[in-house]
Chains A and B, each alone.
Chain A
Amino acid sequence: MTPFTSLLSRAVPLIRDNIDTDAIIPSREMKSVAKAGLSDGLFAGWRYTAIGGREPNPDFVLNDPLYQGATILLGGPNFGCGSSREHAVWALAEYGFRAIVAPSFNPIFRGNCIRNGILPIEADPQPLAAVDGPLAVDLTSQTITTPDGVTTRFAMEAEPKRMLLEGLDPIDLTLELRARIRAFRDKDRGMHPWHYLDVTGNSQ
């Protein structure tokens, strides 16, 4: 995973309540068993003039030339609600977004962001939407700074911060604890044998 340290970009304002993962990547746009090839489907229902089409809707903010190449997205409350589909985050990442600022995130979506190097920032996006120019986001200091030098701090827990900053693979980290996991399961099997099945579906 690409480590996240800082970025400098204009922020795309898409501040609507409850932007769901069906809106971020409609199910019909998830065409193959792959994590790539999804960015064309990003916000497809709003971004194009017709369902299934590719003619840009000029009224949709992502099609505004001002925001081409932007890596920060401003969203509304409960961003990423609905389906757990990680395809929503893969599509956002492939399109180029590296940070999302919203008043709140759906918990599964937020976890998916962290797993894919997108920084979810819980903050009020409205003041940032009024800024004409690039925002500087820095994860180490947990700050957003406007071109005028106004700095806002945001909260981030230690574990996701470390994962993002170092671009760590959590599976590798956890596999280092393999012996502890095995010992815990062995002990637990003694207490709750019915929790453990063999491949025929019988408890071990």
Chain B
Amino acid sequence: MTAPRTLFDKLWDAHRIATLGEDSDLILIDRILLHERTGGIALKSLEEQGRRVNDPAQVFVTMDHVVDTLPGRTDATIMPTGTQFITATRDAARRAGLTLFDLGDPGQGIVHVISPEQGIILPGLTLVCPDSHTCSQGALGGLAWGIGSSEAEHALATSTLRMQKPRQMRIMVTGILPPGTTAKDLALHILRRIGSSGAHGHMVEYAGPAIAALEIEARLTLCNMATELSAFSAIIAPDDKTAAYLAGRRLAPKGEDRAHALAYWRTLATDTDATFDREEVVDATQVRPMVSWGTSPQQAVPLGEVVPAFDPDQRLSTEDAHQRALAYMGLPPGQRLGDLPIDAAFIGSCTNSRLSDLRRAAAILRGRHVAQGVRAICVPGSTAVKAAAEAEGLDRIFLDAGFEWREAGCSMCFFAGGESFGPEERVVTSTNRNFESRQGPRTRSHLASPETVAASAVTGRITAPADLEAGI
């Protein structure tokens, strides 16, 4: 009889080629994703060392990070040297015979949006990408994690990585999210509770009734923010929703393969008696619409609350970090976040740019208009999401409401030297990072769900969707 194992144990064991030493294993990598920001340099460096990609068919390349998202875009970028990243990555990908989702390709988009969309990530696979938000894809039940460019070179050259097995942590989410709250609010709720290094180095398995109730796109949002907990990655056991989501996707198994795959996926869930190094229990019924107030994603509160003063009894932050965040954000403790006027609203990024995100935001914007003086931007996560949204008329709702409607990409989730929000501008954003100057020089970012971004755009101040509906 074998010892009870976690989902992660099972995937690790199935991919362990060899033990390399007392604390290191050689792990098989099934899929490698690259983008022009950190993937191009990996391909270039590999070539310079005279090495070849071991299995080109397992590698997928997309353009998302520095490409423009304005309509009619070309290789030219607002970012001064962006074209170099695009062309270097494209040329290297072609020379190596890799699958490329280039500008103009219907498969192009943000790497963590297109991978589930096309069935590149599957339950039971290992997948790596030189991008910290690769943890998003654990939502499908695959072992997916972010690496550096040098590790990407190793994966490309050998189809493996030399790994130390991380410790494991289960976050059990009991109950059901209240109506009007989302996976984004849950992610910020967890960050507030356990902090930005709350899952430090651990593989996180999200489990429990609230997770089972989440649709796949919501699970992607939740797992996306695991890197903000400093986790190794996150994963959710595949279930019927996963199987249904993947049915018919371009690279997902079909026919007889699918029957075998479904049977295999059913064996992957964590065994009843398996143990974790750490366990956290989160009550989903306590989650409220959240917004961040500081410069770390853990600095978030429910929308009705005020900006907190430093609490010496908590252990998640130093006083210095708290005061620095308040000064940067231009906020006094006690300020009601719900009253804060905003300059801009942004819907997009690998966290919240999928069709369901755009539908929920559009439901709030229908028949309404963005407040005067607020710049509002919507960037679909992939060319396919954009096409699907347009097919059901969502683009008209965003445009009629006064939003810009963009081409797919990472866009203004971060400031790469091209487009940005302005100094001290306050932005409500559906992205994942509120770091200093992340979205522009000295820009002040408030993380929230797409619904809260949409409602805030309409009133011109940070607003809970329910308050907008109630006319408060």
Whether A84 is near chain B, meaning CB under 8 Å from some CB there, is yes
Chain B residues near A195: list those with CB within 8 A. Answer: 30, 122, 124-125
Whether A83 is near chain B, meaning CB under 8 Å from some CB there, is yes
Given contacts A180-B18, A184-B28, A194-B122, contact A35 B41 (CB under 8 A): yes
Given contacts A22-B433, A158-B24, A159-B20, contact A108 B148 (CB under 8 A): yes
In the complex, per-residue mask of B141-175: 1 if CB is within 8 Å of any chain A CB, else 0:
00000111111011001111010101000000000
Whether B276 is near chain A, meaning CB under 8 Å from some CB there, is no
Given contacts A158-B21, A181-B28, contact A28 B416 (CB under 8 A): yes
In the complex, per-residue mask of B12-29: 1 if CB is within 8 Å of any chain A CB, else 0:
001001101111101010
Contact stretch, chosen from B178-186, B194-202, B329-337, B396-404: B194-202
Least Cβ–Cβ distance between A22 and chain B, in angstroms = 5
| Complex alpha-carbon distance, A71 and B318, angstroms | 26
Given contacts A16-B320, A78-B200, A197-B57, contact A171 B257 (CB under 8 A): no
Q: Is the CB of B253 within 8 A of A194?
A: yes
Select the residue from A22, A107, A159, A174 with max chain B CB neighbours within 10 A: A107
Given contacts A157-B164, A158-B21, A159-B164, contact A116 B417 (CB under 8 A): no
| Complex alpha-carbon distance, A178 and B18, angstroms | 12
Q: Is the CB of B40 within 8 A of A33?
A: yes
Given contacts A84-B147, A104-B197, contact A180 B17 (CB under 8 A): yes
Chain B residues near A78: list those with CB within 8 A. Answer: 196-197, 200, 230
Select the residue from A30, A35, A52, A196 with max chain B CB neighbours within 10 A: A30
In the complex, per-residue mask of B321-346: 1 if CB is within 8 Å of any chain A CB, else 0:
10010000000000000000000000
Chain A residues near B438: list those with CB within 8 A. Answer: 22
Chain A residues near B80: list those with CB within 8 A. Answer: 31
Given contacts A107-B201, A201-B99, contact A22 B146 (CB under 8 A): no
Q: Is the CB of A199 within 8 A of B148?
A: no
Chain B residues near A188: list those with CB within 8 A. Answer: 14, 28
Whether A146 is near chain B, meaning CB under 8 Å from some CB there, is no
Neighbour of A192 across the interface among B153, B157, B264, B324, CB < 8 A = B264
Q: Is the CB of A77 within 8 A of B197?
A: yes
Whether A75 is near chain B, meaning CB under 8 Å from some CB there, is no
Neighbour of A194 across the interface among B22, B45, B164, B261, CB < 8 A = B261
Q: How many residues in A have their beta carbons less than 8 Å from beta carbons of B? A: 65
Q: How many residues in B have their beta carbons less than 8 Å from beta carbons of A? A: 88
Chain A residues near B230: list those with CB within 8 A. Answer: 78, 81, 104, 106-107
Chain B residues near A199: list those with CB within 8 A. Answer: 56-57, 97, 99
Select the residue from B23, B150, B159, B321 with max chain A CB neighbours within 10 A: B150
Q: Is the CB of B442 within 8 A of A51?
A: yes
Given contacts A17-B318, A27-B415, contact A197 B58 (CB under 8 A): yes
Q: Which residues of B contact A (CB under 8 A)?
A: 14, 17-18, 20-24, 26, 28, 30, 37-38, 40-41, 44-45, 49, 51, 56-58, 79-81, 84-85, 88-89, 97, 99, 122, 124-125, 130-132, 146-151, 153-154, 157-160, 162, 164, 166, 196-197, 200-201, 227-228, 230-232, 250-253, 257-258, 260-261, 264, 296, 317-318, 320-321, 324, 414-417, 423, 433, 435-438, 441-442
Q: Which residues of A contact B (CB under 8 A)?
A: 16-18, 20, 22-23, 26-35, 45, 51-52, 76-78, 81-87, 89, 104, 106-108, 111-112, 115-116, 157-159, 162, 170-171, 173-175, 177-178, 180-181, 184-185, 188, 192-199, 201, 203-204
6 A-B pairs with least C-beta separation: A194-B253, A28-B417, A51-B441, A17-B321, A86-B148, A78-B197
Q: List 20 A-B contacts (CB under 8 A).
A: A22-B414, A23-B436, A26-B437, A33-B84, A35-B45, A51-B442, A81-B230, A83-B131, A86-B149, A107-B201, A159-B21, A170-B154, A171-B154, A180-B18, A185-B28, A195-B122, A195-B124, A197-B57, A201-B250, A204-B57
Apart from A51-B437, A158-B22, A177-B160: 4 A-B pairs, beta carbons within 8 A:
A28-B415, A82-B435, A159-B20, A171-B158
